[in-house]
Amino acid sequence: MSNFAFSTLQDFFIMDGHGIYVWSVYLVSLTLIVISFQVTNRKLHQQKIKNAQK
């Protein structure tokens, strides 16, 4: 791993004006993946309870 590619943290977030594109893509995608895990996990937990009650 080489050195940090930006001189300041602000440059890192702004990315020469490309930050809005880059960060929005990562944020939306990561949120989608995390929500998928959470929703599935919750449904699985509910289903296990339902199955155990039978």
Partner 1 sequence: MYLPYVMYLGFFLLAIGWVWGLGFAPQDAIQGNSYRIIFLHVPASIFAQLIYFFMAVCALMHLVWRVKLAAYLIKSAAPVGVIITFIALFSGSIWGIPTWGTWWQWDARITSTLILFIMYLGILTLHSSFSNLEKADRLMSILVVVGVVNIPIIKKSVDWWSTLHQPASITISEAPSIDSSMLYPLLVSISGMGLTLIALGILISRLYIFTREKNKKWVQNYE
Interface residues with partner 1 (CB under 8 A) are 1-6, 12, 15-19, 21-22, 24-26, 28-29, 32-33, 36-37, 40-41, 43-44, 47-48, 50-52, 54
Number of H helices, E strands in the chain: 2, 0
**DSSP helix/strand/coil, 12:** helix
In whole angstroms, how close is the CB of 10 to partner 1 at the nearest point?
13
d(CA 54, CA 6): 59
Query: Nearer to partner 1 by C-beta: 10 or 16?
Result: 16
Least Cβ distance, residue 36 to partner 1 (angstroms): 6
Q: Are 14 and 20 in contact (CB under 8 A)?
A: no
